[in-house]
Amino acid sequence: MPKATHRRFTAEYKERILAEADACTKPGQIGALLRREGLYRSHLGKWREQRKQFGLAGLAPQRRGPKPDPQAAEIARLQRENERLLARLRRAENIIDVQKKLLSYLGRLWTRATSSHDAKR
């Protein structure tokens, strides 16, 4: 059994078919056009929408890009979370450093105060 292929239509072909379809005025003419060309009504609808949004350039075949990596979104989310947690860790380390310095300073003040208090006695 031959492998099915994806048909590709040029912008000029799509424009010609749309012009013929737009010229159809009697019942059944569009159906005959679609049968003759081996197309579906959905082709016409999609092509009309593309033409309406983007003009003739919208009818040009679009090149397919690589399929998105299903893990890429999860990796990006984890990287953002990692950056957020690292920033939070840096803030916590800064707070701890300030607390250590304050405790050291207060300890020295306490030592001076108690030693001067003991010296006065």
Q: Measure the CA–CA gap between 105 and 113, rounded to whole angstroms.
A: 12
CA of residue 24 relative to chain centroid, distance: 42
- Does residue 5 carry a pLDDT above 80? no
Dist. CA 80–CA 82, nearest whole Å? 5
- Check whether 16 has a pLDDT greater than 80: yes
Q: Chain-wide mean pLDDT for the chain? A: 88
CA distances from 35 to 30, 32, 46 (A): 9, 5, 17
Report pLDDT for 64.
Answer: 74
The pLDDT confidence band at residue 119, using thresholds 50, 70 and 90, is low
17-68 pLDDT, tens digit each: 999 999 988 999 999 999 999 999 999 999 999 888 888 777 777 777 888 7
Pick the more confident residue, 79 or 12: 79
Cα(43)–Cα(45) distance, integer angstroms:
6
- DSSP string for residues in 25-81: -STTHHHHHHHHHT--HHHHHHHHHHHHHHGGGGGSPPPP-PPPPTTHHHHHHHHHH
| Per-residue model confidence (pLDDT) at position 116 | 72
Q: Specify the pTM.
A: 0.48
